[in-house]
């Protein structure tokens, strides 16, 4: 204690900034000097969570409100660089807005608000004209009722929105007020099903868009991506009926987990699929994505820059992955790494290997002969008869194969190494095993 007490106030405040504010406040009992040091920290982390938060105790709520008021009052002359608040109790929106307005005027760089209360929190207008904020994260019951005409966030580079509600065109207005935005995350936000969601930002480099957990009728009927500098796209959920604008010329990496929300005849993802043509790393992380792309196989462009592909499989009903894989490899002349995320073979509904499906899977592998894949990675290898048959075909037919990374159990590894010895090319291919538990 004595060694810490000798440190300057600024150093002590920096140490306390790594603790949740409530825990840092406990240090006030050490001495008079420590009484208010916790509130001088540039980072404030406030958390108010109870298991049964739908039946809050009024006394508990008032104690929390008084605590936050005291912290902000004591530190009124201090700069707040980072302010995060997680609330899982019923707190009046007026209090939350008052606290946000307070920190927005104190040089805030990083603001995070995650609320789950009985009332929707409407964003205060002051948040739209904060000149210092660099990172903004808002979640749960938060609503943008309006974006003022003078909205301007000149320093905002990262915007993270979870289940945030917008009315009308407020989202597009918000984006236009962010001239240096680089990273945007939209998770589970309910949208107007009649609108066309347009993500238009000339500075955006990373985009995560997830409609998972959002019912299909709460999604826009079409999507537009006007993002000429976008390098990373993580897109999960239902596809739109149309994609009027797709500007993804700088896209390097794309991770897709997409599915139909209705009949395939109701969707026209041609622009979206064509917009992926410059991608270098492609991750098809669900079977539904392979099914969707196979349904529009005539639209698949030539992926001249594609060097790495990951494709998901499952124990059952994985036929769509194998149907789409030959087409994808033919359209990827410069592919160097192929990752199969799942078993190499699949089973019927009773968990047994189905002989007819084995024959179908192994019926044609001529497409591998013209493939330039050097690295093959199998994430979930179990060593079954069907998988070994698939693996032998890959090792025999891929002419440029140099390295195989296999994630397998110890038993599957032993079986694989024994069976591999009979292959003519076995000595020319390097094998690396990564263990997992059965």
Tens digit of each residue's pLDDT (9 = 90 or more) over 394-415? 888 889 999 999 888 777 777 7
In this structure, of 7-11, 229-233, 396-400, the range with the lowest mean pLDDT score is 7-11
Tens digit of each residue's pLDDT (9 = 90 or more) over 243-256? 999 999 999 999 99
Place of tokens 């998972």: 212
Write down the mean pLDDT value for the chain: 80
Q: Which two tokens stand for residue 223?
A: 């999507």
In this structure, of 19-23, 201-205, 369-373, the range with the lowest mean pLDDT score is 19-23
Which of the two residues, 344 and 158, has the higher pLDDT score? 158
Which pLDDT score is estimated for 278? 95
**DSSP run (H or E) holding 209:** strand 206-210
Which pLDDT score is estimated for 184? 98
CA nearest to 416, candidates 434, 398, 392 = 392
Place of tokens 């900034």: 17
Q: In DSSP terms, which residues pair with 171 in a beta bridge?
A: none
Q: How far apart are CA 308 and CA 347, in angstroms?
A: 27
- Whether 348 shows a pLDDT value over 60: the answer reads no
- Whether 198 shows a pLDDT value over 80: the answer reads yes
Conformation bin of residue 174: beta by default, left when phi > 0, alpha when psi is -120 to 50: alpha
- Whether 9 shows a pLDDT value over 90: the answer reads no
- Whether 153 shows a pLDDT value over 90: the answer reads yes
Decide: 237 and 214 in contact? Cβ < 8 Å: yes
Query: At 49, phi and psi to the nearest 5?
Result: -130, 130
State the fold for domain 307-438.
3.80.10
Q: Name the band, by pLDDT with cuts 50, 70 and 90, for residue 108.
A: very high
- Whether 34 shows a pLDDT value over 60: the answer reads no
Decide: 410 and 438 in contact? Cβ < 8 Å: no
């Amino acid at each position: 204690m004595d060694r810490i007490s000798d440190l300057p106030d600024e150093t002590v405040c920096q140490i306390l900034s790594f603790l949740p504010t409530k825990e840092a406040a406990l240090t006030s009992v050490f001495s008079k000097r420590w009484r208010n040091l916790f509130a001088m920290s540039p980072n404030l982390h406030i958390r108010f969570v109870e298991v049964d938060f739908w039946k809050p105790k009024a006394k508990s709520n008032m104690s929390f409100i008084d605590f936050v008021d005291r912290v902000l009052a004591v530190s009124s002359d201090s700069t707040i660089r980072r302010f995060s608040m997680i609330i899982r109790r019923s707190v009046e929106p007026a209090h939350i807005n008052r606290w946000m307005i307070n920190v927005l005027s104190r040089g805030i760089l990083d603001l995070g608000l995650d609320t789950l209360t009985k009332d929707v929190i409407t964003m205060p207008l002051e948040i739209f004209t904060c000149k210092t904020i660099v990172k903004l994260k808002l979640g749960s019951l938060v609503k943008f009722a309006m974006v003022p005409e003078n909205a301007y966030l000149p320093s905002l580079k990262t915007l993270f929105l979870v289940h945030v509600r917008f009315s009308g065109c407020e989202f597009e207005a918000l984006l236009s007020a962010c001239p240096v935005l680089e990273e945007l995350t939209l998770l589970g936000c309910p949208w107007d099903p009649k609108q066309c969601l347009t993500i238009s930002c000339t500075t955006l480099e990373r985009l995560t868009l997830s409609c998972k957990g959002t019912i299909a009728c709460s999604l826009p009927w079409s999507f537009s991506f006007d993002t000429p500098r976008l390098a990373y796209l993580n897109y999960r959920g239902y596809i739109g009926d149309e994609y009027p604008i797709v500007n993804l010329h700088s896209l390097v990496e794309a991770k897709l987990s997409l599915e139909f929300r209705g009949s395939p005849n109701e969707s026209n993802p041609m622009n979206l699929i064509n917009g992926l043509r410059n991608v270098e790393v492609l991750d098809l992380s669900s079977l539904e994505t392979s099914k969707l792309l196979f349904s529009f196989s005539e639209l698949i462009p030539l992926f001249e820059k594609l060097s790495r592909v990951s494709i998901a499989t499952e124990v059952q009903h994985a036929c769509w992955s194998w149907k789409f894989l030959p087409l994808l490899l033919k359209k990827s002349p410069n592919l160097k790494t192929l990752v199969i995320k799942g078993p190499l073979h699949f089973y019927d509904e009773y968990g047994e290997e189905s002989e007819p499906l084995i024959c179908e899977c192994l019926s044609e592998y001529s497409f591998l002969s013209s493939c330039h894949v050097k690295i093959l990675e199998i994430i979930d290898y179990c060593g079954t008869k069907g998988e070994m048959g698939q693996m032998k075909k890959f090792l025999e037919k891929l002419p440029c194969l140099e390295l195989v990374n296999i994630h397998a159990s110890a038993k599957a590894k032993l079986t694989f190494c024994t069976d591999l010895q009979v292959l003519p090319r076995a000595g020319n291919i390097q094998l690396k095993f990564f263990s997992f538990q059965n």
